[in-house]
Amino acid sequence: MQELFTVTGMILKAEPFGEYDRRVVMLTKERGKIAAFAKGARKQGSRLLAATNPFCFGEFKLFAGRTSYTISEAVISNYFEGLRGDYEGACYGMYFNELADYYTRENNDEREVLKLLYQSLRGLMHTGLDNRLVRYIFEIKALVIAGEYPGIPEGSAYQESTLYTLEFIRISPVEKLYTFTVSDAVLSQLKEIADSFRHRFIDRKMKSLQILNEITEIPC
């Protein structure tokens, strides 16, 4: 008999499978990144129809098969509905999901990435924060968590405020990251730094980033 167990996590991406099913990738607190099938999730009236969309965060009851997981039930605590009505915000969120997918692995301890993703999506819904700032914080902190943060780039003159911001991002717990704003000059320097890190450490193009850059007219 298959064992039923519960994980807490977020849906990173979902795709159709078969006639009515979905295959999802989720980032979980207990088992890192996993793929799972939601049978009948695309049928109208399915209790998994809304619960297996990207950004859904909550508890998922799973069966473990020989080679895959199957979602039995889901109790969603945050759908991040605010992003569903905000096309630009949703594009930022999909980019964060794709980066989280890139950095994480199954059976790894990915709790810090999950927390970063959750708090970053909340940051996108904060009316007092610039989405670009949320993005650069996410990109830099993801490198810190992955153990790849190289420190302050050499050979460039950055404002003291920029250097302070970088250090704050590096040392602060995830819950404290989205508690400040910066000047346009500092934001521009953070973009330069985050872009240089991305080109240096990420070995593939992100489809969601290409879409994001098109709609925001931010060059890669």
| pLDDT digits 0-9 by tens, 125-153 | 999 999 999 999 999 999 999 999 999 88
pLDDT reading at 1 higher than 60: no
Provide CB contacts within 8 A for 109, sequence distance 6+: 32
Residues 6+ apart with CB under 8 A from 24: 11, 12, 13, 14, 15, 35, 36, 37, 38, 52, 71
Check residue 77 and give its pLDDT: 98
Residue 92 predicted with pLDDT over 70: yes
pLDDT at 153: 80
When the pLDDT of each residue in the chain is averaged and rounded to a whole number, the result is 94
pLDDT for residue 220? 52
Residue 113: what pLDDT? Answer: 98
| Section 18-47 average pLDDT | 96
On the question of a common fold for 4-78 and 81-216, the answer reads no
> Where do the structural domains in the chain lie, given as residue ranges?
4-78, 81-216
Which of 2.70.98.60, 3.40.50.300, 3.40.50.2300, 2.40.50.140 would CATH assign to domain 4-78? 2.40.50.140
Contact assessment for residue 25 and residue 12, using Cβ atoms and an 8 Å cutoff: yes
High-pLDDT (> 70) share of the chain, %: 97
What's the CATH number for 81-216? 1.20.1440
- Asked whether the predicted pLDDT for residue 217 surpasses 70, the reply is yes
- Cα distances from 38 to residues 22, 79, 105, in angstroms, run 5, 17, 20
- The helix or strand, by DSSP H or E, that contains position 194, with its residue range, turns out to be helix 184-201
- C-alpha distance from residue 89 to each of 121, 129, 188, 218 (Å): 9, 12, 20, 14
Q: In terms of DSSP bridges, do strands 21-28 and 4-17 run parallel, antiparallel, or are they unpaired?
A: antiparallel
Length of the chain: 220
How open is the CA angle 140-142-147, to the nearest 5 degrees? 100
